[in-house]
Chains A and B, each alone.
Chain A
Amino acid sequence: MPLSKLGLRNNAYGLTQTELYRNVDREDPKEILNGVAVSGLVGILRQLGDLAEFAAEIFHGIQEEVMATASRSNQLKIRLQRIEATVPPLEKAVLAQTTHIHFAYTGGLEWHPRIPNQQNHLIYDDLPRLIMDPYEECRDPPRLHLLDKFDINGPGSCLKRYSDPTYFRRASSNLSQGTKKFQSNNKNCKIKKKKSSSRSRDMARLASMANQSARKTIASFSFSGQTSSSLTASTSDMEKRSDLQDHHSHSFDSRSGSGYNECISTATSSLRKPKGVFVSSSLTPGSCTIASVLSECETEDAQDSFQFSPSHGQAARGSSCVSWDEKAEIVEPLGVQKDEALEMMEKNSVVDALDEKASCGEETGRVDYGNSESGSQQHTGIDEAREMKTGLESMGEQRDSEHETESEGDCFVDALNIIESESENDQGLQTSQEVASSPCGVTDERLEKSVCEQEVESNFNTVEGSCRPMDEEKSCGLVETLSSINVSDEMNHQDPGLSSDIACSPRHDPCTSNIPGGADYMAFTFVPALENSSSNSSNLLYHSDLQEHQKSEAKTSNDVEAIKLWTNGGLLGLKPSKPQVLAVPSSVSSDCKTDEMKVGSAEAEKDKSGYLLENASYRHVLNNSSLATPGTQNLIVADQRECHETSSGVFGLSHKLLTNGFRRRDSFPYDRQTVPATIPENDEVTTEKSRSITEKTLMDPFRDEAPIDWITSSPPLQHMKISLSPVDTLQASRLKLKFSDGNNNNNNDTFSSFQLLPEAATSFPDSCSDDDTFCRSSPYMSDTDYLGDNHSLSNSEQWEESSDSNERKEQELYDSFHESRHVDEPSSLVIESESGCVDLSYLQNPAEPSPPPFPPVQWMVSKTHSEKVDDKTQSLQLQDALRFAFEKHISLSPVNKELPNIVTSPPKPELKVHLKNNAREEKQKSAKEKETEAGDFLQQIRTQQFNLKPVVMTTTLSAAATTDPAINTKISAILEKANSIRQAVASNDGDESDTWSDT
Chain B
Amino acid sequence: MAKAGGITNAVNVGIAVQADWENREFISHISLNVRRLFEFLVQFESTTKSKLASLNEKLDLLERRLEMLEVQVSTATANPSLFAT
Contact A103/B82 with A33-B16, A108-B75 known, Cβ cut-off 8 Å: yes
**A37 near B20: Cβ-Cβ < 8 Å:** yes
**A66 near B31: Cβ-Cβ < 8 Å:** no
**B45 near A62: Cβ-Cβ < 8 Å:** yes
A1 contacts B by Cβ under 8 Å: yes
A34-73 contacts to B, CB under 8 A, are 36-37, 40-41, 43-44, 47-48, 50-51, 54-55, 58, 61-62, 65-66, 68-69, 72-73
A119 contacts B by Cβ under 8 Å: no
A109 contacts B by Cβ under 8 Å: yes
B residues less than 8 Å from A8 (CB atoms): 34-35, 38
B residues less than 8 Å from A102 (CB atoms): 85
Complex CA gap A770/B20 in Å reads 123
A460-516 contacts to B, CB under 8 A, are none
A residues less than 8 Å from B30 (CB atoms): 12, 44, 47
> How many residues of chain A have a CB within 8 Å of chain B?
53
Closest CB in chain B relative to A63 CB, distance in Å? 10
A residues less than 8 Å from B73 (CB atoms): 83, 86-87, 90
**A58 near B41: Cβ-Cβ < 8 Å:** yes
A29 contacts B by Cβ under 8 Å: yes
A704-745 contacts to B, CB under 8 A, are none
User: For residue A90, which residue of chain B has the nearest CB?
Assistant: B76
Q: Interface size for chain B: under 10, 10 to 19, 20 to 34, or 35 or more residues? A: 35 or more
A residues less than 8 Å from B12 (CB atoms): 30
**A69 near B56: Cβ-Cβ < 8 Å:** yes
Interface membership of chain B positions 56-85, coded 1 if the CB is closer than 8 angstroms to chain A and 0 otherwise: 100100110010011111011100101101
**A51 near B37: Cβ-Cβ < 8 Å:** yes
Complex CA gap A804/B59 in Å reads 77
B8 contacts A by Cβ under 8 Å: no
Closest CB in chain A relative to B30 CB, distance in Å? 5
**B75 near A65: Cβ-Cβ < 8 Å:** no
Complex CA gap A29/B66 in Å reads 75
B residues less than 8 Å from A48 (CB atoms): 34
**A33 near B17: Cβ-Cβ < 8 Å:** yes
**B83 near A93: Cβ-Cβ < 8 Å:** yes
B residues less than 8 Å from A13 (CB atoms): 27
**A62 near B49: Cβ-Cβ < 8 Å:** yes
**B83 near A94: Cβ-Cβ < 8 Å:** yes
B residues less than 8 Å from A126 (CB atoms): none
Q: Pick from B17, B37, B49, B59: contact of A73, CB below 8 A.
A: B59
**B66 near A83: Cβ-Cβ < 8 Å:** yes
**A61 near B45: Cβ-Cβ < 8 Å:** yes
Complex CA gap A79/B72 in Å reads 13
Complex CA gap A639/B24 in Å reads 94
**B82 near A106: Cβ-Cβ < 8 Å:** yes
B residues less than 8 Å from A83 (CB atoms): 66, 69-70, 73
B55 contacts A by Cβ under 8 Å: yes
Interface membership of chain A positions 96-130, coded 1 if the CB is closer than 8 angstroms to chain B and 0 otherwise: 11110011001011111000000000000000000
Interface membership of chain A positions 868-887, coded 1 if the CB is closer than 8 angstroms to chain B and 0 otherwise: 00000000000000000000
Closest CB in chain A relative to B56 CB, distance in Å? 6
Q: Pick from A41, A50, A79, A99: contact of B66, CB below 8 A.
A: A79
**B45 near A2: Cβ-Cβ < 8 Å:** yes
Closest CB in chain A relative to B44 CB, distance in Å? 7
**B42 near A4: Cβ-Cβ < 8 Å:** yes
Complex CA gap A96/B82 in Å reads 12
Q: Pick from A41, A76, A96: contact of B63, CB below 8 A.
A: A76
A415 contacts B by Cβ under 8 Å: no
**A97 near B83: Cβ-Cβ < 8 Å:** yes
Complex CA gap A863/B37 in Å reads 115
Contact A36/B20 with A58-B41, A65-B49, A98-B85 known, Cβ cut-off 8 Å: yes
**A62 near B70: Cβ-Cβ < 8 Å:** no
Complex CA gap A96/B80 in Å reads 13
Closest CB in chain B relative to A58 CB, distance in Å? 4
B19 contacts A by Cβ under 8 Å: yes
A336 contacts B by Cβ under 8 Å: no
A175 contacts B by Cβ under 8 Å: no
**A80 near B27: Cβ-Cβ < 8 Å:** no
B1-44 contacts to A, CB under 8 A, are 12-13, 16-17, 19-20, 23-24, 27-28, 30-31, 34-35, 37-38, 41-42, 44
**A43 near B27: Cβ-Cβ < 8 Å:** yes
B residues less than 8 Å from A80 (CB atoms): 66
A residues less than 8 Å from B80 (CB atoms): 93
User: For residue B59, which residue of chain A has the nearest CB?
Assistant: A72
**A29 near B27: Cβ-Cβ < 8 Å:** no
**B35 near A97: Cβ-Cβ < 8 Å:** no
Closest CB in chain A relative to B23 CB, distance in Å? 4
Complex CA gap A99/B85 in Å reads 9
**B49 near A51: Cβ-Cβ < 8 Å:** no
Complex CA gap A96/B83 in Å reads 8
Q: Pick from B13, B52, B85: contact of A69, CB below 8 A.
A: B52
User: For residue A37, which residue of chain B has the nearest CB?
Assistant: B23
Complex CA gap A61/B45 in Å reads 9
Q: Pick from B38, B63, B75: contact of A110, CB below 8 A.
A: B75
**B70 near A79: Cβ-Cβ < 8 Å:** yes
B residues less than 8 Å from A4 (CB atoms): 42
B residues less than 8 Å from A111 (CB atoms): 71
Contact A51/B63 with A37-B23, A62-B49 known, Cβ cut-off 8 Å: no
Complex CA gap A79/B71 in Å reads 12
Which of the listed residues A43, A65, A68, A112 has the most CB atoms from chain B within 10 Å of its own CB? A65
Contact A12/B63 with A86-B77, A96-B83 known, Cβ cut-off 8 Å: no
Complex CA gap A112/B68 in Å reads 11
User: For residue A95, which residue of chain B has the nearest CB?
Assistant: B83
**B46 near A40: Cβ-Cβ < 8 Å:** no
B residues less than 8 Å from A36 (CB atoms): 20, 23-24
**A40 near B45: Cβ-Cβ < 8 Å:** no
Q: Pick from B44, B59, B71, B85: contact of A58, CB below 8 A.
A: B44
Q: List 27 A-B contacts (CB under 8 A).
A: A2-B49, A8-B35, A12-B27, A29-B17, A33-B19, A36-B23, A37-B23, A40-B24, A44-B31, A47-B31, A51-B37, A51-B38, A54-B38, A62-B52, A66-B52, A76-B59, A76-B63, A83-B66, A83-B69, A90-B73, A90-B77, A94-B83, A96-B83, A102-B85, A108-B75, A109-B72, A110-B75
**Other 14 A-B pairs with CB < 8 A, given A47-B35, A54-B41:** A13-B27, A37-B23, A44-B30, A44-B31, A50-B38, A51-B41, A69-B52, A72-B56, A76-B66, A83-B69, A87-B73, A93-B83, A99-B85, A112-B71
Enumerate chain B interface residues (CB-CB to A < 8 A): 12-13, 16-17, 19-20, 23-24, 27-28, 30-31, 34-35, 37-38, 41-42, 44-46, 48-49, 52, 55-56, 59, 62-63, 66, 69-73, 75-77, 80, 82-83, 85
